[in-house]
Structure 1
């Protein structure tokens, strides 16, 4: 009984020691991990606190906003199309001017130059009336798939746009030509010396003011061009003054394909033209040298063939040219050879071997 009691009493003691050692080891490892993880936890806590403070303080500061609306607007990426449309319209007007000017080819010289402002205004009126006046795009805009925004084409705005783009340039050109012509001076001189001086002074003053205004307008056009290249909204001053914005006729999501065929052809022709301009002086010099030599030979031949070396008649009757390049009448030459066996050329003294008919 004693042996069994002692064995049973030892079992709980062993179990107690094992559990206590395991608990001690767990506490030691947990303390170690807590010590090792404590810097990381502190760093995370400080970062979280700083982020909370930043969010509370940044509520009053403006946020960074990307203008996606302006990037998606149809007029933000059409500056190339707009400028190409303007160039195409000007080229179309230039093509229409050619037959218009040929209509006055039978008139006296200078008629086309005198009515040039009227021709430009008439073509501008026709182009405007059948395009923007009807709410339609111009031919250049149609080719570039752009147009003026329909809600902007009101009657007042279209009328003002017509005056600024067609009417004002015509009046300006005609007035400037009228003041620059000699009629003003001639009328003043016919009326008298005092009136001519007053008219001359007033004309010079008006022309000076117009030149200053023209310089100002050209400067504004240059500034508008720089702004257009930066933002791509308004091509000209009338469009900017009236707010005539453009948009795509049929917007497409596909990327625009660029065709370099025309550019390659243009570069090729430019290279050929430059090469031709470089070689033209050499070709001209050689042709001039050859023509001068031929002209000298022909002039000497003409001088020789102008009269007979024996009788002196001009032109020789039935001319024959000898091997020494001198001309005789057939009768004179045959008579001289028949009468003298050792006949030598009268002009050069050389005894020729043969002769032949001189053809014109």
Structure 2
């Protein structure tokens, strides 16, 4: 049976989802041990990561033939790219062995250095450096080939000749842009508000609205005693206008600069000047 073509972006997204799931589980484990004086979890991180990979493999690839990331996107491993047959048991075990053992060896090879002589340790470091450079070069070549042909997004899949297919028949879908349109609309509205608000004299607008409310016969609540009528807080650097009601210095000066007809918040008397509390 011939397999269907899987989009390149879907294959890459599945790989990224698998890495994110592993990272999220590791974060939860590390949070459990963060209150210890010495975080022993990090001393055995390669072994813990290998254990997590085995557990994820057991409940994903071993059970369903697909990783959790692939299942989220409706994908699954295939025996090869020429068919959509599910993975055999032997290939699933080989996939686990390569993923777990290679990653564990890459993170743990440095533990051998204390057991070797300085000369052998230097040779081992040099050999591992060349091996890592070679793997990065081969991985880059494999990724470029994947971009051209859409097959084998990882080097391991190419080595094991693993294909990828859809779990169900794909139907054409038209993308929905409702969420994007809503975000663009609100973003434009917020930009408009940020551009207009600095041009509005809020002090004059507040005075005008208070005068309209008073003319309508509505009694506004008076500020509490020993509080600034503007901010309704304990006065900072208390100052008094001609009427004698205590205000914050910054509240008075800011409103006087913005509105030359600023009125006292208690008696509604116009304010033209102010002086520190207790002075004349």
Give the TM-score taking structure 1 as reference length.
0.46
Unmatched tracts of structure 2, length 5 or more: 80-84, 191-277
Structure-2 residue corresponding to 1:257? 174
Q: Residues 190-244 of structure 1: CA distance to partner in whole angstroms, max 9, x if unpaired?
A: xxxxxxxx71111111011011101111111111111111111112111100111
Structure-2 residue corresponding to 1:248? 166
**Displacement of 1:152 after TM fit?**
5.3
Structure-1 residue corresponding to 2:4? 74
* Matched-pair contact (CA < 8 Å) for 1:89–1:140: yes
Q: Give the number of the structure with larger relative contact order, counting CA–CA contacts within 8 Å between residues 6 or more apart.
A: 2
* Matched-pair contact (CA < 8 Å) for 2:46–2:107: yes
Is 1:204 matched up with 2:122? yes
**Displacement of 1:251 after TM fit?**
1.6
**Secondary structure in 2 aligned to 1:115?**
helix
**Displacement of 1:118 after TM fit?**
1.8
Structure-1 residue corresponding to 2:261? none
The match for 2:141 among 205, 215, 223 is 223
Q: In 1, Cα distance between the equivalents of 2:155 and 2:48?
A: 23
* Matched-pair contact (CA < 8 Å) for 1:179–1:207: no
> Which structure is higher in helix share?
1
Structure-2 residue corresponding to 1:133? 62
Structure-2 residue corresponding to 1:335? none
CA distance 1:73–1:133, change in 2 (3 Å): closer
The match for 2:93 among 159, 171, 178 is 159
CA distance 1:137–1:152, change in 2 (3 Å): closer
**Secondary structure in 1 aligned to 2:165?**
strand
| Superposed counterparts of 1:65-214, under 5 Å | 73-75=3-5, 77-149=6-78, 151=85, 153-176=87-110, 178-179=111-112, 184=114, 199-214=117-132
**Secondary structure in 1 aligned to 2:117?**
helix
* Matched-pair contact (CA < 8 Å) for 1:135–1:153: no
Give the TM-score taking structure 2 as reference length.
0.58
**Displacement of 1:112 after TM fit?**
3.2
